[in-house]
Amino acid sequence: MSINEANKNCLQRIQESTALWSDIRPAKEVIPGMSERTVLHAGPPVAWENMCGPMRGSITGACIYEGWARTPEEVAELATSGELEFDSSHHRHAIGPMSGIITPSMEVNVVTNTVHGIETYSTLYMGIGKVLRHGAFDDEVLAKLRWMNDDLAPLLKASLLRAGGIDLKSLVAQAVQMGDELHNRNKASNALLLTSLVQHLIAVGDKAAVIEAIDFIDKAGHFILNAVMAGSKGMLDAGSNVKDSTIVTALARNGYETGIRVSGLGDTWFT
């Protein structure tokens, strides 16, 4: 096949893709090969030795959250002991913003590319400021993480199931026409998301919990971002591994180096 034909084929697979935010489930139940000590991170593979401060901070928070360690020192020891299985989230159909740390008990967005039967995963968006993805791991951050996993996630999950999922592709297509660039401006997408979800939230949740959830989503400002990342990955993954295609299907960094993957060159990272 010529490169042009291969690229057309690749593009068609990407463009015909869908992104349905269909569920929220624990990482260990849905992410492939998630062992009891797997730690997924953003970008191409990187060893603990080369990880930047914020990524180490995120891992510290995640390990304490999981109950694997109690202090940053214990985490550092654990991380160099070989007991943790570090891997790029890209190798597990998963993705996350900034350090992108995902550990087994975290609740993750499940996004389905219904055309190609691909499921992708991402953690829930935690808000701005002092949050895990930026490397923060104090008690306040861990308490927020617990609330998100224990309270927010079940409510959102029930709402998503009642709604039959949220069509992220349609929502994003509208939002980009409404001034969002879907990274640092999500004013339209967040408002459209709330408008779509709110009846279902009210139907399945207690009044106080629903108000708390809506207040959090509204103030977080970019809540839809992580789900959209998973959706985008699911669409680009549909275009990966097309023989002879030169289209870049992944562009990601881990704080140490940046890597790309090229469709026709399989799962190899070029960093």
In 3D space, the residue among 107, 90, 223 whose CA is nearest the CA of residue 168 turns out to be: 223
Q: Which is nearer to a second copy, 210 or 227 (CB)?
A: 210
Our finding on whether 211 is near a second copy (CB under 8 A) is yes
Our finding on whether 262 is near a second copy (CB under 8 A) is no
Residue ranges in 149-178 that form contacts with a second copy under rule CB under 8 A: 174, 177-178
Our finding on whether 142 is near a second copy (CB under 8 A) is no
Residue ranges in 4-63 that form contacts with a second copy under rule CB under 8 A: none
Distance of closest approach, residue 181 Cβ to a second copy, in angstroms:
13
Distance of closest approach, residue 162 Cβ to a second copy, in angstroms:
11
Q: Which is nearer to a second copy, 75 or 192 (CB)?
A: 192
Among 188, 224, 225, 238, binds a second copy (CB under 8 A): 188
Which own/partner contact pairs does 206-209 have at CB distance under 8 Å and 24+ positions apart? 209/151, 209/155
- Beta strand 107-113 with 20-26 is antiparallel
Our finding on whether 267 is near a second copy (CB under 8 A) is no
Query: Which of these segments, 5-13, 19-27, 129-137, 185-193, binds a second copy (CB under 8 A)?
Result: 185-193
- State the CB neighbour count (10 A cutoff) for residue 30: 18
Give percent helix, percent strand, percent coil of the chain, each to the nearest 5.
50, 15, 35
Among 218, 257, 266, 268, binds a second copy (CB under 8 A): 218
Query: Which of these segments, 7-15, 60-68, 98-106, 195-203, binds a second copy (CB under 8 A)?
Result: 195-203
In 3D space, the residue among 160, 159, 188 whose CA is nearest the CA of residue 174 turns out to be: 188
Query: Which of these segments, 78-86, 108-116, 190-198, 262-270, binds a second copy (CB under 8 A)?
Result: 190-198
- State the CB neighbour count (10 A cutoff) for residue 14: 20
Our finding on whether 183 is near a second copy (CB under 8 A) is no
Q: Are 251 and 232 within 8 A, CB to CB? A: no
In 3D space, the residue among 252, 191, 198, 177 whose CA is nearest the CA of residue 219 turns out to be: 191
Amino acid identity of residue 3, one-letter, is I
Q: Are 106 and 61 within 8 A, CB to CB? A: no
DSSP string, 52-102: -HHHHHHHHHHHHHHTS-SSHHHHHHHHHHT-SEEEEGGGGTEE-STT--B
Among 15, 35, 184, 199, binds a second copy (CB under 8 A): 199
Distance of closest approach, residue 147 Cβ to a second copy, in angstroms:
17
Write out the residues near a second copy by the rule CB under 8 A: 174, 177-179, 187-188, 190-192, 194-195, 198-199, 202-203, 207, 210-211, 214-215, 218
